[in-house]
């Protein structure tokens, strides 16, 4: 893009500030793709060791098929799959299997982060993609949905799947479909066909698409068989996105605009940030109907709660720079995050408006869940102090603070993503629950996650596609990434 990362302020109006923030959200996710992407070289494929046979012995299993705990179980993993689950007293541990003592511990599915921005570098331990892989795995994230893709991401996806690189399973969108780049229905049709041919898993619709171009994208995507997800801009609107059955809506786009009363003397602006006088004309009685319409359309939501809390927070950048995970990203990125946040200091909205905005987003999230509309966890890292992997846990906490139980928050990062890929991409349901036959993506915890989502961070180890990574190895990963970023 030719727009600077921090646009020059041209006037003092509220609209100018909100436009600036929208640009920050749009452009902040390019940091890993451009200014900090220092390694594009491809490495010679080097197969990882074959997955071991592993036995989790006498462990509490939280399968996430429903809300329950199976106590004193033994779980056998063989050839990267869950082979057996049963009472520890009756399951025999195979000869030669690695035994992991599960007494007092809890085994849950690995987490899926459904809105990330992955560097297109080669995936070596020292480059940015490799660092992201390590940050995700160290935080128990074993599946990711990359929401801005390049051809390099298709290669990374396939190399991870083949066992040439150690990382989370990748599903990747292509380059974003922006109105200034896809400016006509004909261009929309052409780009969809091209992205399908390149091998992307999904399309990402973005800002500025005309209704006609959006309709062409939707029709072509259905014809060639590729799902679309992403933004809902003012030019398209929530009603069209639901009618099109867009597979997922990011950021709760369009919902607050749709809550504005019919007789409101002021309209909501095009920004994702709904602030100002229009907040006095929000009709909360519309929320249940919006949630029901979303459920009926079968549209999923990835609300990125934490991102927008950071955007409207009154806290200064220095406070966020003290977060422990800041040591795992490059200094140039920390500086960019601080500039992003500093640019929000001029939003002409009092704290009461900002709090009201967050309150409405939280109410919409709870209503969607109550209506049976499916939710996903994906905080939109890396930007605004959101560090890959660590941000996934912050988003879990944001779901609970909004009003969901720990079970339902974690479900949005485990079972729900697996169902999303099965439903939307027609892929086998291959992960997301602790179940015989599924891919062995697992997270072993020291405390009960159903009591607190904070316990999801109390890891003993992570298993990704049957490979066991104990906490000692995960800690070494983090230390290596930290050392690379202290230069």
Encoding tokens for residue 260? Answer: 């504005």
Distance between alpha carbon 213 and the CA centroid of its chain, in Å?
26
pLDDT band at residue 272 under the 50/70/90 scheme: confident
Question: Where residue 269 falls among pLDDT bands split at 50, 70, 90?
Answer: confident
More confident residue, 16 or 86: 86
Average pLDDT for 412-440: 96
Residue 22 is predicted with a pLDDT of 52
Please report whether residue 115 resides in a domain: yes
> Which pLDDT belongs to residue 271?
84
Q: What is the C-alpha to C-alpha distance for residues 354 and 273, in angstroms, rounded to an integer?
A: 9
Within a domain: residue 487?
no
Residue 368 has pLDDT above 70, yes or no: yes
Q: Measured between alpha carbons, how far is 108 from 60 in angstroms, rounded to an integer? A: 9
- Report d(CA 124, CA 235) in Å as an integer: 41
47-102 residue pLDDT tens: 566 567 999 999 999 999 999 999 999 999 999 999 999 999 999 999 999 999 99
Give the model's pLDDT for residue 427.
85
Q: What is the CATH number of the domain that holds 167?
A: 3.20.20.140
Q: In this predicted model, what pLDDT tens digit does every residue of 233-268 receive, in sequence order?
A: 999 999 999 999 999 999 999 999 999 999 999 998
Q: What is the pLDDT of residues 178-201, one digit of tens each?
A: 999 999 999 999 999 999 999 999
- What would the two tokens of residue 205 be? 């619709």
In a domain, 331, yes or no: yes
Torsions phi, psi for 362 (to 5 deg): -65, -40
- What mean pLDDT, rounded, does the chain reach? 90
202 falls within a domain: yes
Report the percent of the chain where pLDDT is more than 90: 83
1: confidence class by pLDDT, cuts 50, 70, 90? very low
Q: Is 436 left (phi over 0), alpha (psi -120 to 50) or beta?
A: beta
> pLDDT tens-digit profile of 118-159?
998 777 777 899 999 999 999 999 999 999 999 999 999 999
Q: How many domains does the chain have?
A: 1
For residue 154, the enclosing domain spans: 14-47+111-436
The answer as to whether 415 is a domain residue is: yes
Range 426-454 average pLDDT: 96
Residue 431 falls inside a structural domain: yes
Residue 146 falls inside a structural domain: yes
Looking at residue 130, its pLDDT comes to: 93
């Amino acid at each position: 893009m030719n727009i600077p990362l921090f646009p020059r302020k041209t006037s003092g109006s509220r609209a100018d500030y909100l436009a600036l923030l929208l640009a920050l959200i749009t452009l902040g996710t390019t940091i890993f793709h451009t200014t900090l992407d220092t390694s594009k070289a491809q490495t010679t494929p080097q197969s990882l060791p074959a997955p071991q046979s592993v036995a989790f012995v006498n462990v509490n299993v939280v399968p996430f098929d429903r809300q329950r705990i199976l106590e004193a179980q033994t779980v056998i993993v063989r050839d990267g799959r869950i082979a057996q689950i049963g009472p520890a007293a009756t399951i025999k541990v195979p000869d030669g299997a690695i035994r992991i003592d599960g007494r007092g511990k809890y085994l849950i599915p690995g987490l899926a982060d459904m809105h990330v921005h992955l560097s297109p570098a080669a995936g070596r331990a020292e480059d940015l993609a490799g660092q992201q892989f390590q940050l995700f795995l160290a935080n128990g994230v074993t599946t990711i949905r990359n929401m801005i893709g390049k051809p390099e991401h298709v290669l990374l996806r396939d190399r991870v799947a083949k066992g040439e690189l150690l990382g989370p399973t990748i599903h990747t969108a292509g380059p974003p479909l922006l109105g200034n780049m896809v400016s006509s229905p004909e261009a929309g049709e052409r780009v969809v066909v091209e992205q399908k041919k390149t091998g992307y898993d999904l399309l990402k619709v973005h800002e500025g698409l005309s209704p006609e171009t959006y309709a062409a994208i939707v029709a072509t995507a259905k014809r060639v068989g590729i799902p679309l997800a992403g933004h809902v801009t003012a030019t398209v609107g929530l009603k069209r996105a639901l009618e099109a059955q867009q597979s997922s809506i990011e950021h709760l786009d369009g919902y607050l605009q749709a809550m504005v009363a019919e007789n409101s003397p002021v309209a909501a602006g095009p920004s994702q940030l709904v602030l100002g006088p229009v907040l006095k004309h929000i009709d909360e009685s519309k929320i249940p109907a919006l949630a029901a319409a979303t459920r009926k359309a079968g549209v999923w939501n990835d609300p990125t709660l934490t991102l927008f809390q950071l955007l409207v927070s009154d806290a200064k950048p220095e406070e966020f720079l003290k977060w422990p995970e800041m040591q795992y990203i490059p200094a140039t990125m920390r500086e960019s995050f601080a500039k992003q946040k500093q640019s929000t200091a001029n939003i002409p909205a009092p704290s009461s408006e900002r709090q009201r905005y967050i309150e409405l987003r939280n109410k919409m999230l709870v209503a969607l869940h109550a209506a049976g509309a499916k939710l996903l966890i994906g905080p939109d890292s890396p930007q605004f102090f959101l560090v890959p992997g660590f941000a996934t846990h912050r988003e879990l906490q944001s779901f609970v603070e909004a009003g969901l139980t720990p079970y339902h928050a974690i479900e949005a990062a485990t079972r729900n993503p697996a169902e999303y890929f099965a439903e939307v991409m027609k892929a086998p349901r291959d992960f997301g629950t602790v179940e015989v036959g599924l891919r062995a993506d697992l997270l072993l915890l020291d405390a009960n996650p159903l009591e607190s989502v904070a316990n999801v961070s109390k890891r003993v180890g992570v298993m990704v596609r049957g490979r066991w990574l104990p906490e000692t190895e995960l800690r070494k990963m983090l230390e290596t990434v930290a050392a690379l970023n202290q230069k």
